Structure 1
Amino acid sequence: MRFRYSKWTPQSMTDEQRLQSLASLFSYLLIQTSGDVEEAIEWLRQLAQEYGILDENLTIEGLIEKLKEMGIIEEAKEILKLTTKGVQRIRQDALREIFTSLRKGGIGYHETPQTGTGIDRLSETKKWTIGDAPTNIDLTSTLTNAFKRGGIEEFTLEEDDLEVYETEHMTSCATVLMLDISHSMILYGEDRITPAKQVALALSELIMQKYPRDYLALVVFGDEAKLMSLSELPFLNVGPYHTNTRAGLQLARDLLRRRKTVNKQIFMVTDGKPSAIFDDSHRLYKNSFGL
């Protein structure tokens, strides 16, 4: 393996920070264009002309090559498209604080105030019971119990002597993320879908990276509700739909009902009240002023 060395200058760090900043801006534009790389680059070109964010040291063509090197975009049949790494780049911010006050349930990676089956060992000990890991045995307390019971001369070890360290219980959680794709998300020229997708992308990234044992599903709802793949999230767009919140909640609850996890939650990202509902005969009733 060969290495190329160059002289370090204070400007070097600035160039890297600038590149990362432009890559983040590009990710934001991709959310607005629903993953259309060509359109996002055109918007970036216009921003560069208006605000001077690019210069002779880093042109738009140079930035495109950098984005390719970073694995964010790739060229296929002379068309630029977003890569899997590029999708992940969009989902970076964390919303860890939403996972609080969880109850004790199946093993996972969420911290809880309770003790139980987990990873982090505590200083407290308890009597050994079936199912406790042998690696958590407190040898000092165990031997002390044995000596107190039988003395040093006739040392024996019995089950009642065993003590194990308590561990901090780590639980799992099932989450359904609901995203409103009705027309009101862009009504009157106000872009509500972009920040909504940003929240959804950030939350999905947090769960997938920090809590890999968790169940996560994406439900989009307009006139009706539909289960979508998480990989489709950056490419979602609004449609000529009303807001059938009830259908979205019904599908989300049905998905959670199938999970055996104790902790279940629904996060709904929407801009307002419901404006559509299916009646008893499954006909769609719409009212733009709300139900």
Structure 2
Amino acid sequence: MGSHAPGSHGGTLRDVIRFYLLDHKTIVGKAIDISLLVLNLVFVGVFVAETYSVAASLQSMFWVIEAGISVIFLVEYLLRVYGARSRLDEIFNFYSFVDLLAILPTLAVLVLSVPAATANSGFLRSIRVVRVLRFYRFTRDEEFFFGTVSVGTLRVMKLLLTVLTIFFVAAGMFYSFEHELNPGINTFGDAFYFTVVTLSTVGFGDIVPVTQPGRWVTVAAILAGIILIPWQASKIVKEWGHRDKVNVVCENCGLAYHDRDASHCKSCGHVIYQEFDSRE
């Protein structure tokens, strides 16, 4: 992507909006990226902080911050849909779905007059944990506001993010279902401790689920860890396995990535004639 905004070349308003929401190189694009990242960190932090016993004034401040960030994210969502080349594709995009789902409980309180206590309990609270999935939007490609990373580095970042996401989502949902009935779960920290101990197979047994939804959350978290973490790790291993190969595509069968000194395709035998320096 170029570093010049389409507006400077006669682009439409939609082009300008789409450019800056995807751009990582211009000052405006970097500012938007950093601002959204910081707001999402605060958004997730507020969710965690609200599970602790704090003064009523602090709880009110948390609500104001959450409501304000939710409105900003709603505006961002609407701008992404407006600026997208295909608005229908953008609406059904995974990242957009997560963006909207993360702010729905807060918007329900603001727009539909749902009591705040309702939004902070049960199913609606469990929905709020998906806001951590917004961080995946920042790993959709190799370009970041601080520069470009390698494919291998990006996959390592995705693996770490996947592990943290499984821990966070499982802990958030476990807390939502267990904290009213389970004496061992008083804060998000308690739920996070249980999740880490359980998924790491240590299993001290000092905290156990007492509700049916809590048990199913635990099972789902274990299955997610078994499936997603090895899947992400396998991509890293594959990338490491291709470090010494050259990205040359065989004209006959289409196989990509061959050994540096290969003169024929290892799949079909077609001549590919890669250049190779005998001094290496």
Higher relative helix content = 2
TM-score range, shorter chain: under 0.3
Per the normalisation by structure 2, the TM-score is 0.26
Per the normalisation by structure 1, the TM-score is 0.25
Higher relative strand content = 1
